[in-house]
Amino acid sequence: MRHIIPKNTQTIKLNFDVNEISSEDMPLESKKIAQDYLTSKTYNDEFDLIAATEDNQLIFGFEYLYKNQMRYIPELDPSVVYFSSAQLFREKIYKYKTELLKNSTIVIKMHENDIPLSKSMKQFETFFQFASSYIIMLNSSLEAFINKTIPIDYKYITQTGKEKNINWILKSAQFKTKIEEIIPDCTNKNFIKKFPKKYESIEELKNFRNELIHLSPKTDNTNTKYKEFYRKVIDFKYNESIYLVRDYINFHEENLIEECPCDQNFHFDINK
């Protein structure tokens, strides 16, 4: 999978050339508001900022005060940013896994060509860093997409008949409730019914992330308290999972996860 094109939270396609508009076309009142805003030293979130792109679109953004000057920062869709971040880690997971397993043979006595344990420890650390960061970012992409997809005026009726608004849904509703009940209801699209096997794998991804975040040592009388979980980390199907999340997101919002045509791949590499 090639690297992903970043997407703005909102985009307006124009049917005219912005460059043809001169400052003389702007009302005096608007000029004053703009000037006061640009010279202000405080944020005013009453206004939404937009800027024109080179391909004649308007994108939304926000201001940031830097060295007493206002800067314009495009507001990106976080679900796409998280997905792209997962890609950066994914590219090297299997490389480090292969090196780890190749060099981690059990020996009775160290031979001349065997690597020292300190190097094996570093290889497992690197593999685990990439794998855990990948899982966290990929799940963050999925959750950010689900949260942004729910309309702000949506009302959820609980099993006890209580009506809950968007603030309760975003803060208190379980992930399972959102993905299995709320999203199909508010989008009129049911990924779970159409792709039950894929959804089972998404559930596995979510459960794996929960175990990773809330990792607890075994309470048995043993000196190796994480070995069962670490085996799961080695065995997990990383390549398949990123396509599952892409398919889920694009099922609801077509081409939100879009590969760049430049054919370049970006990834982290600790060795470099």
**In the chain, where does DSSP find H-type helix?**
28-39, 78-103, 117-149, 166-172, 175-177, 183-187, 191-194, 196-213, 227-235, 238-252
Give the model confidence (pLDDT) of 191-223 as tens digits: 999 999 999 999 999 999 999 999 999 888 889
Asked if 144 and 245 touch (Cβ cutoff 8 Å), the reply is no
pLDDT at 266: 75
pLDDT class for 111, splitting at 50, 70, 90? low
Give the model confidence (pLDDT) of 27-67 as tens digits: 888 778 778 877 888 888 887 888 888 788 889 999 999 98
DSSP 8-state symbol, 61: E
Q: Whole-model pTM?
A: 0.87
Mean pLDDT of 256-271: 81
pLDDT at 115: 62
B/e letters for 3-34, b = 16+ CB within 10 Å, e = fewer, are bbeebbeeeeeeeeeeeeeeeeeeeeeeeeee
pLDDT above 90 coverage of the chain, percent: 57
Asked if 150 and 186 touch (Cβ cutoff 8 Å), the reply is yes
pLDDT at 1: 79
Supply φ then ψ for residue 154, to 5 degrees. Answer: -70, 140
pLDDT at 129: 93
> What does 130-150 look like in DSSP terms, one character per residue?
HHHHHHHHHHHHHHHHHHHHS
- Chain mean position to CA 223: 36
pLDDT at 188: 96
Burial zone of 127 (CB within 10 Å; 0-12 exposed, 13-18 middle, 19+ buried): buried
More confident residue, 21 or 256: 256
